[in-house]
Amino acid sequence: MSEEALDRLLQERQADRLPSVAAAVVRKGEIAWSNAVGAADYAAGVEATPQTQYRIGSITKTFTATAIMQLRDAGALDLDDRLEQHLDGIANGTPTLRRMLCHLSGLQREAGEMFVTGTSPTEDELIESMGAVEFVLGPAQAHHYSNLAFALLGHVVARRSKLPYTQYVDERIIAPLGLTRTTWLPQAPKAQGYLVDEYARTVWLEPETDLAGTSAAGQLWSTVEDLARWATFLAGGADGVLDATTVEEMWFPQLMYYPDDWVLGWGLGLMLYNHEGRIYGGHGGAMAGHLAGVYIDRKTQTGAAGLTNTGTRANMDLFAIQLAAKAIELWPEPIEPWRPEDEPPADVRELLGRWWSEGNEFVFWWERGALQAKVAGTPPGRAETTFERDGDGWRASAGRERGERLRIEDGRLVWSGYAFTRAQEPFKA
């Protein structure tokens, strides 16, 4: 029954005038479902399958962001470096790498008018063209999506690694993760890209543009099953590729796309959608004749990918998120039976229970081998703090006041510059 519900969503999406749609759901690192409906190529009479390659467009940016974070972790760069520190002599190189990763650089959207002329710049031409680019917004003034920024980040990867950008991504990311159907140029079986005529219900062939010197912004092709595996990586990293702590940093919101409606945020190279109270991280993609989306919920480790071979109307971002949400509904997390904890250390016992600070009541407790705290009455899972031992005290390792020390002093606690007492007290005069 679960697979039938997902099949139905897929069929409904393709029936809305899309040549084909392929999709996959991943749960805790395993592909739980995949399927495809429609024609990969009308002229050749080829039907789409989950192994069919489609162009994934800007999902390529998540690979570029991963490469930048790898180099940061290796000490080759800092996210707050300016672009000009890594591309010597480049004009208009003042944006920081961090702002470029989250589209706060203010750089114009495209590298010239490549989508008007149909000709992509070479690497050298891209660098030479920087003297004529515009900053359409001030730095960090507001979100402004920039393919140019990510094309330039690809050149940073090449300069710092001393490898061509595509070779670096192949060797350091794609190969270690076993993404055998993720390539820079299409490999059969592949989907032909189309434009569906809105009124005649016919289709036109779309070209397969080589992005050349801007490949880091959107050149990759992939399958839904490879993207499902990529979603798992984006949720938690992988040994030898990127640590989980670095991936967590990529998920931290750098901005809200709609400041007055927190539906979409941006991390470091990741789009963060708030869908029905869950945050799904990933990215969408669009190139001539292709639309793509891959998103995952980190809490349940459930994600989905959707691909289609038309460049309009499909909204694969929302489709992938809807598939993941349906999978979470169909396969709910198991409810673990409660079991008593092991006795906490003696010095922890004296910390447990209720404390007061700033006139508010806090609760400290021991769970799964860790000291925890929260404001009394806070719903489960909200604003909770986890502490780790730090010398003769503790340090908040997650949650409220993360990074701040907690120490015991004269029968009270001192945490992040405030006293915690067993009874409610006013501030010291």
Q: pLDDT digits over 125-155, tens only?
A: 999 999 999 999 999 999 999 999 999 999 9
| CA–CA gap between residue 19 and residue 220 (Å, rounded) | 21
Tell me 280's DSSP state.
E
Do 99 and 87 touch, CB atoms closer than 8 A?
no
Q: Which residues of the chain fall short of a pLDDT of 50?
A: none
Q: Residues with Cβ < 8 Å from 392, sequence gap 6 or more?
A: 407
CA triple 58-98-233, angle to 5 deg: 50
Instruction: Decide if 304 contacts 273 (C-beta within 8 A).
Output: no
d(CA 25, CA 248): 22
Nearest to 218 by CA among 428, 58, 94: 58
Question: Which of these, 138, 145, 129, lies nearest to 106 by C-alpha position?
Answer: 138
Q: Which helix (H) or strand (E) holds 135?
A: none
Q: What is the predicted pLDDT for the residue at 1?
A: 59
CB 187 within 8 A of CB 181: yes
Residue 22 near residue 307 (C-beta atoms within 8 A)? yes
Position 2 scores a pLDDT of: 78
The percent of residues in the chain predicted with pLDDT above 90, rounded, is 94
pLDDT given at position 429: 61
Domains annotated on the chain, with CATH: 2-330 (3.40.710.10), 346-420 (no CATH)
Angle in degrees, CA 317, 323, 324, rounded to 5: 90
